[in-house]
Structure 1
Amino acid sequence: MRNPVAKKVTQIEPSGIRKFFDIVSEMQDAISLGVGEPDFDTPWSVREEGIYSLERGRTFYTANAGLKELRIEIGNYISRKYDLHYDAVHEIMVTVGGSEAIDLALRAMVDPGDEVLIPQPSYVSYLPCAVMADAKPVIINLKEENEFKLTRKELEESITDKTKILVLPFPNNPTGGIMTKEELEELVPVIIEHDLYVISDEIYAELTYKGRHVSIASLPGMHDRTVTINGFSKAFAMTGWRLGYAIAPKMIMDQMIKLHQFAIMCAPTNSQFAAVEALKNCDDEVAKMVEAYDQRRRFLIDALRGMGLECFEPFGAFYVFPSIKKFGLSSDEFASRLLREEKLAVVPGTAFGDCGEGFLRISYAYSLTDLKKGLERLQRFINKLQTE
């Protein structure tokens, strides 16, 4: 028989994150500090609106781009939060999570052989989405001494005459790193000089603990060069509602909507009605969650450093990225033994790119009680390694 599956798909490695959590799900008394999912409930008023929409029979298709009311509220939200000004009708679309928006943007913008610059460590979907769009992913290995931020020099050295897209993943998953306005401004002249476009994944924008998040799309010259990805999963604790959005110039957005139209049709209707409520009335709830994350962040950093682990201070998302190089184990070996011997799951840094070797991703999207229990197990494991 002819091979029924596409070669480019078989060559994509499965997510390095899932292996550990498939084991955890079947391991009694295991603790996970690895999943990037808020431990908070979706705000009650948002849940209530979702329930109400079902009770009212709002179970119809929406427009392909999403409820007009929701797109208008997204436009209002990004204007007051991030100084982004786009046409809600023609330049904003609602997607099934931020991941769909990433996939749509790449497929709408690249031709076979176009190069896509992907700074790593970073979210696991960028590289396979680029491959599935028939682009050539080009990895930029970020450095610990720069707090895993993208520098102008690193960007310049990675550009060729085939480069078309730069993925900008800040605030960063897995490192928690952010880029300030001044650091983004360093990149803009290079992007414009080489006529590049940017896909800026800002799903963690609200989870910024130092200053205010700055979107590169708000900087001079970048409005028409940027596709901004965001959504409701992280800031509003709405992971299971599967709702994201993309913001882009009309020329790009028209093609993204076309792909979305044929592949998805529209995002879940009751989720969209619930999201309107989230944007209108949940700033206070989000602020409380951010305050709690920040408390956990500071606690976790202090605890890890107290164990002798080197860890730069992350100011975004809900992850820390400590170094375990001193123990002489690979990231995968360390994480596998930690899970097997202490029943504690964290994610090896290599799940997010080869330059993540020697690091772990630990999430603080967990209660302080769970963090303390997990850290006790980590300390026992480190003590054991130091006596071997």
Structure 2
Amino acid sequence: RLWQQQQSNFTAQSNALTSINSSLSALQTAMQSLHDITGAISANTATSSQTGILTASAQSGAVAGTHLVTVTNLATTASVYTDALANGNTNFQTGVITLQVGTKSTDITVDSGNNTLTGLASTINSQQLGVTASVINDSNGSRLALISKTTGQPGDLTITGNTTGLTFHKSVAGQNASLTIDGVPFSSATNTVTGALSGVTLNLVGSAPNTPVQISVGPDTNGATQAVNNFVSAYNAVIGAINAQFTYNTSTNSAGTLAANSALRSLQSSLLSDVTYAMSSNNGYESLASLGIDMANDGTLSVDQANLNSVLASHYSDFQNFFQGSSTSFGSQLAADLTSLTSPTRGALNENLAEIKNQQTTLHTTISDFEDRLAARQQQLIIQYSQIDAMLRQYPVTLQAITAQLATLQTAQK
């Protein structure tokens, strides 16, 4: 029974340590999002004052600032069509059609095998010329329609030669988007403009030559706020689980299964020391408290959202340096400690888990050896019992023989 209790204790301790270790790994992930130079607080955002004209998105390399963009016209997709024939299978004259897509020309041979709108559409599509050919039917008959797969001038369509008798009309010319960025003219073959503003993508959705659109580029404060809240939640999960192990329950007159665990007490001390660490100099933002992240008496953290918003709005670079600065920054110190604490080989809890596992293995071996010895002794006793039982079964026969011999002796004496 003592061994069973020991096994139960080892299992409970192992489960508790594994759970806390998992929470510690989650804290490391949340911290990495703040500390990583490509993480959440390095992200930028771009907003547009006129989303009906253009929208914008920013990458981490974008430079904070404000820009004025005027969209004169959008990039268009070229298309041409023919006059109507009776239907898609009506024959027309054979010959050659020369189709130019952008600057590349291709001769399309029309013979008796494809001199219908349906046949010509199939031929054009099979040659993969960068256009889509289709037959359009309406009340006037059937027309061949060609639409470019490329927007802007690079995808403009021109029929430069035609001996088939078909008449082609250009319905839309392929032209580039035309815009100005901070007064500088810019042309784009697509309505997705990249490279004009470093790290910013402009998505053109409408033209308004007389309406400048303001694009504001800056840090993604919403993403930063979420990252901070995730960190605080992850930290509180760890410290709360640790505190629970050391809390005495008056109803059960006991504490947690790890109440006497020195490694857990050391972890608690390390975390409390880490989150109260203050940088030597960061323009007044040297501690979590200076960012609006306060500590309660039990060691848990809470976010004063108003204070945090103020820091993010006015001192974002200091906020960023707090988590991503040099080796003496808060973020660097905590990230390094968490890496050590969660190390598979050197982490305090992992070492403790390995020790408990060894103890469980040793106890299991002890129990197994005892059970083997017990089984061997049991088998030995069974054999001895069988031998004794066999001997006892012989006693009545022996007694009868002795009795008979005695009777014979008594008779002889008479």
Same fold (TM over 0.5): no
TM-score (norm 2): 0.16
- Give the number of the structure whose alpha-carbon radius of gyration is greater: 2
